[in-house]
Structure 1
Amino acid sequence: MESGRQRLIEAARALLAEHPDREPSTRELYEAAGVAAPTLYHHFGTKEGLLDAVAEDAFATYVERKNAVPDTGDLLADFTAGWDMHIEFGVQNPVLYRFMFGRTDGRRCEVAQKAETELRRRLARFADEGLLQISLDEAIAVTTGTAMGCVMQLVHDGGSATGPVAQTMRAALIAQLTEQPSQRDDPGRAAHLLQARLGSASELFTSAEEALLRQWLRTLAEYFDNSPANESTSRGRHE
């Protein structure tokens, strides 16, 4: 039999899925879980404490999926894939996303802090490679603000995480961070990006099929990266 704590978490997930445009009330939560109000307060302290736990669980699943995707070695392709996964999480979990990143009470939930730590790590690699054209702290603020704005706009308009609005905002962000224009027609980067995105579609392939596809993509990426037409671009990315 599920504990009261787990029943509350499951009820919160169900209510958030059923009504993605609003937070459930405290009463809705404990009634949906089939427990009394004191059970919620005992385990979580407040409704916000319960939503913190749900957000932690949802974001942990997202991070696990993201970390399962190996870096391709192309910093911009890996950053692009990370952006796409972040925006997709926000669009699919709008209430949790607002709770995690859009709070105005001065509190920051643990998962938001973890996300910033990971973003700092990735942008520090940009700086180490000479790609970052603004300070690290400014880059973190600009990236976070752009991502939050993108998610809120897509949720408002019913847009897609991989649609033209998200792609345009991503390209503008990368240009701001690196002063490099987006290169959507670069086949080498396309191969790198597809490698980085495979983790979000892993259920489509067996392990052997995914390994073979990754091998083909690495071969294509290396070929186009080293082709004369892309020699200067590749040198700029990796030097």
Structure 2
Amino acid sequence: MAPTTQRRDITRDRIVKAAADLLRDQGPAAVTTRRVAHEAGLQPPALYRLFQDKDELLNAAAEHVFAEHVASKQTTAPSDDPVEDLRAGWNTQISFGLANPYVYGLLLDPVRARDAPTQLKGVRILAERVHRIAAAGRLRVSEERAVNLIRSAGVGTIHTLLTQLPEQSDPHLSDAAFDAITRAILTDEPAVPAQDPAAVVAAFRTLLPELPTLSKAEAALLDEWLQR
């Protein structure tokens, strides 16, 4: 890496980390040019050379905080029980949202959510956990539907808990929400065709990449039929 590029990256990292700390502790209003430059040990013009405006800096700060969260999830080795792994991931996500309300508020912005690479990585981690459940014959809906339902329930749970007054907060709401969503998407036991054909279909879809006799077009067509 060229020295100039390296110095630029180091400076950017210092700015983003300083902005992330301010955002995490005090909210978006605290992320001003003067405050961030002071915390990073730089002069304010350094920020203008690297970020077009405050929104771009806020996006980078929120991405930095969430990236640390996602990285910690990736280091967790899967257990033998994919449903318990899903529960663990749910609890981690709820805890992150409650501990980082300012960051989570920014991450809920639809435009930011669609474009943020770390958000997409987080969804992929969730999709991998759902895929393991489908492969075990425990999923009664499609993997896509399950991922979207879990994400929707998680966002709603965090938003509700963050907006409740302390004396009104329900400490069991997160567990109740997870139990409700699992009743909607999971079977009690691995599927038997006569009892839960939808779960068998969901499990069979996970095997498509392992069927070498099918061309890509044939596998895609079969997957479309199975989704129907």
Do they superpose with TM above 0.5? yes
**Aligned: 1:13 with 2:20:** yes
- Rounded Cα–Cα distance in structure 2 between residues aligned with 1:44 and 1:65: 27
Residue 146 of structure 1: aligned partner: 153
Task: Give me the CA root mean square deviation.
Answer: 3.1
**Aligned: 1:163 with 2:171:** yes
- Rounded Cα–Cα distance in structure 1 between residues aligned with 2:164 and 2:157: 11
**Aligned: 1:58 with 2:65:** yes
User: Match of 1:71, SS?
Assistant: coil
The correspondence for 2:182, drawn from 169, 174, 184, is 174
Residue 186 of structure 1: aligned partner: none
TM-score, normalising length from structure 2? 0.66
Residue 221 of structure 1: aligned partner: none
Q: Spell out the pairing of 1:1-239 with structure 2 (5 A cutoff).
A: 4-20=11-27, 22-27=28-33, 29-30=35-36, 32-33=38-39, 35-100=42-107, 102-105=108-111, 107-157=114-164, 163-180=171-188
- Rounded Cα–Cα distance in structure 1 between residues aligned with 2:66 and 2:19: 15
- Rounded Cα–Cα distance in structure 2 between residues aligned with 1:158 and 1:68: 34
- Residue 50 (structure 1) shift: 2.3
- Rounded Cα–Cα distance in structure 2 between residues aligned with 1:121 and 1:180: 20
Structure 1's 14 and 143: CA in aligned 2 closer, same or farther, altered over 3 A? same
- Residue 132 (structure 1) shift: 1.3
Q: Indicate the structure (1 or 2) with the bigger Cα radius of gyration.
A: 2
Structure 1 residues not aligned, in runs of 5+: 182-239
Structure 2 residues not aligned, in runs of 5+: 1-6, 190-228
Moved more, 42-51 or 137-146: 42-51
- Rounded Cα–Cα distance in structure 2 between residues aligned with 1:23 and 1:85: 27
User: Match of 1:76, SS?
Assistant: helix
- Rounded Cα–Cα distance in structure 1 between residues aligned with 2:14 and 2:162: 28
Structure 1's 31 and 158: CA in aligned 2 closer, same or farther, altered over 3 A? farther
TM-score, normalising length from structure 1? 0.63
Percent identity, aligned pairs only, is 26
- Residue 177 (structure 1) shift: 1.4
Moved more, 131-140 or 60-69: 60-69
Residue 111 of structure 2 aligns with an amino acid whose one-letter code is D
- Rounded Cα–Cα distance in structure 1 between residues aligned with 2:135 and 2:22: 44
Mapped contact 1:8–1:29 kept (Cα < 8 A)? no
- Rounded Cα–Cα distance in structure 1 between residues aligned with 2:173 and 2:38: 37
Structure 1's 175 and 56: CA in aligned 2 closer, same or farther, altered over 3 A? same
User: Match of 1:117, SS?
Assistant: helix
Mapped contact 1:84–1:162 kept (Cα < 8 A)? no
